[in-house]
Amino acid sequence: MPSDVPNSRCLRLTTRTTFASPGSQSETDTGQRNEGKETAKDGTVWNIVPVGSNAGCLQSHSILRERSGPTSRAKRKTQSEKLLSAWELIFSASMMRHMKHCTEAEARRRTQDNSWTVVTEELGAFIAIMYAGGVYGAKNFPLKSLWSTVLGPQFFRHTTGPK
């Protein structure tokens, strides 16, 4: 259906909807009451809809139609005894090679050292630590505490090893 043809179940694309408290009204530039509509400076007309009412049909791209849980590919590719197999579903080998290439190029540009390299496993460990930091909510956490044998989670120490 073309976008300029009104659909009785949906709002027209030229108007937008806003929710207002009951009894709210707007005035036009001339001071006249404009019940149910609000016009923006750019000419966009907003329909005022009472809170809790149906503002129109949902966009079809806003509706999730997939089943929850792992996909059949994820079930085939992961092995319960190998955590790395689940990691490789998120970061494929080609993605890791690309990140390695870009990381090396940027480091060489910044340090002016053309021999600078990073091992793919180190890069993967760094990404895992970044993810784990987010999971542990360590945004403003003191960095040394994450590797602490008393306070820090074992994951951080075991990922990087002693330095």
Q: How many domains does the chain have?
A: 2
pLDDT at 3 exceeding the cut of 70: no
- Average pLDDT for 74-93: 82
pLDDT at 47 exceeding the cut of 80: no
**HSE (side-chain half, CA atoms, 13 Å) at 151:** 10
Q: Which residue has the tokens 């021999």?
A: 115
- Average pLDDT for 81-110: 89
Compute CA distances 36 → 7, 33, 99, whole Å.
Answer: 19, 9, 53
Tell whether 98 is covered by a domain.
yes
Average confidence score pLDDT of the chain: 74
pLDDT at 57 exceeding the cut of 60: yes
pLDDT at 152 exceeding the cut of 50: yes
pLDDT at 84 exceeding the cut of 70: yes
Does 31 or 123 have the greater pLDDT score?
123
Full-prediction pTM beyond 0.85? Answer: no
Compute CA distances 69 → 63, 65, 72, whole Å.
Answer: 17, 13, 9
For the chain, the distance separating the N- and C-terminal CA atoms, rounded to the nearest angstrom, is 64
Tell whether 5 is covered by a domain.
no
Domain of residue 114 covers: 72-160
105 in the same domain as 139? yes
Q: What is the pLDDT of residue 4?
A: 44
134 in the same domain as 78? yes
Q: What is the pLDDT of residue 55?
A: 61
Tell whether 66 is covered by a domain.
no
Kindly give the residue spans of alpha helices, DSSP state H, lying in 37-163.
72-77, 83-90, 93-111, 120-135, 143-146, 154-160
Tell whether 10 is covered by a domain.
no
Name every residue whose Cβ is closer than 8 Å to that of residue 99 and which is 6 or more positions away in sequence.
Answer: 123, 127
Beta strands at 15-20 and 45-50: parallel, antiparallel or unpaired: parallel
- Average pLDDT for 126-153: 82
